[in-house]
Amino acid sequence: MTTSSVTGNTTIPPRSSGAKTARQKGWYIPWIFVGLFMVVLAVNMVMVHFAMSTWTGVETQDHFVKGISYNRDLAGARAQAERGWKVQTDFTSTEPRKAVVAITVHDKDGGVLKDAAVSVTLIRPTSEGHDKTLSLPYLGEGRYAAPVELDLEGQWDLRLVVTHASGDYQDQKRVWVQ
């Protein structure tokens, strides 16, 4: 004999000891949340892997020492501005991975600076091991130039340093190598 209890209009059947109990509605919803969190965790792990494995170089070495000398660098920039040198940087890409670097230097009054030591460093900003440093010879009329052959095409940072008895000059420019 089975007994049933009546609550309002709904009849609740009695529980039998040997029969399987049916799952409640929505029993899977917590597992959906667990699954979504697992997907987010997996995507984050993939992103961390690619972030750690694709780093190819350091832009600034000895950053702590450079940070300490910041005030000295600011004073040098003010002195460079006071000298008023007129420096023109020309970078002409002639063939694939080949270019000519030309620097023209004049003092504040338009006079030629001919006894300067001019060096150019071409730095690949996205990877290490491809940087080139050139000492440009004097060609006359304040012009220093030299050809350069680079390992890769694309964007490079051209860092210029002019050293003269009356002072120094530094500049940086982004150039494109075809």
Residue 5: what pLDDT? 54
**If you count them, how many residues does the chain have?**
178
Residue with tokens 């050139």: 134
pTM: 0.63
Q: What pLDDT does 121 receive?
A: 96
**pLDDT confidence of 60, banded at 50, 70, 90?**
confident
The mean per-residue pLDDT over the stretch 113-139 comes to: 91
Q: What angle do CA 12, 17, 21 make, to 5 degrees?
A: 60
Q: What is the pLDDT of residue 8?
A: 59
Looking at 15-24, 50-59, 157-166, which range is the least confident one? 15-24
* Spatial distance between the Cα atoms of 39 and 47, rounded to a whole number of angstroms: 12
| Domains of the chain, start order | 86-177 (2.60.40.10)
pLDDT of 61 over the 80 cut: no
Is residue 16 pLDDT above 90, yes or no? no
Please report which confidence band the pLDDT of residue 145 belongs to, taking 50, 70 and 90 as the band edges. Answer: very high
Which residue matches tokens 């029993």?
A: 27
pLDDT higher than threshold 90 for residue 23? no
Which residues lie below 8 Å from residue 33, measured CB to CB, with a gap of 6+? none
Q: What is the pLDDT of residue 9?
A: 66
The pLDDT value given to residue 17: 61
